[in-house]
Amino acid sequence: MLGSFNEKGSVMTNRIDYANASPEGYRAFGGVYVTVQKSGLPKELVDLVYLRVSQINGCAFCIDMHSRDLLKSGLTVDKLVLVPVFSARERAALAWAETVTRVAETGVPDADYTAAAAEFDDKELADLTYAIGLMNAFNRFGISFRSTPAAVAKA
């Protein structure tokens, strides 16, 4: 179930505007976002990870936002939907995003870490994991407070 819809699939309205309700908390998460943007990881890679984490968590608001952002930045539809066209580094980032996002199920096995560490140096892997953690947090805000996706808001 995507995060902005009820059990019957109907659009739900926002519960609260969490950024306005707690601006200090929002700014703190914004600081992590800025750190990730300045980390040196390619923006497209980070955005692909944000999208994958949001897909795993079922956050409709974030799936909509990150899909649109990737397409606006010039990512082809083929690359957006066809995993085989991803580079080895992108596939490693997406696999790492999946195992870290599903930490309660996976326990993040050594084999998953080894595969990610083969593609990313220590700083890159730490920054990538900050990005994954940040998006998991934002997904929880979006789902909990029923953030309305842009596609739904236009309808």
The Cα–Cα gap between 5 and 27 comes to: 27
Q: Tell me the three state secondary structure of residue 5.
A: strand
**Backbone CA torsion sign across 57, 109, 104, 144:** negative
Place of tokens 């936002």: 65
Task: Please provide the average confidence, as pLDDT, over all residues in the chain.
Answer: 91
What's the confidence (pLDDT) of residue 4?
Answer: 53
Q: What domains does the chain contain, in order, with CATH numbers?
A: 18-154 (1.20.1290.10)
User: Do residues 49 and 132 make contact, with C-beta atoms less than 8 angstroms apart?
Assistant: yes
> Does residue 79 register a pLDDT over 60?
yes
Structure-token pair, residue 71? 């397409």
Q: Render pLDDT for 18-61 as a digit per residue (tens, 0 to 9).
A: 999 999 999 999 999 999 999 999 999 999 999 999 999 999 99
pLDDT of 151 = 81
pTM more than 0.75: yes
Token couple for 20: 């306005």
- Cα dist from 133 to 14, 64, 103, 151, whole Å: 23, 19, 11, 25
C-alpha dihedral sign at 126, 102, 69, 24 = negative
**Quick check: 6 pLDDT over 60?**
no
pLDDT of residue 84: 76
Contacts of 77 (CB under 8 A, 6+ apart): 71
Instruction: Look up residue 101 and give its two tokens.
Output: 């996002």
Q: What mean pLDDT is predicted for residues 131-143? A: 96
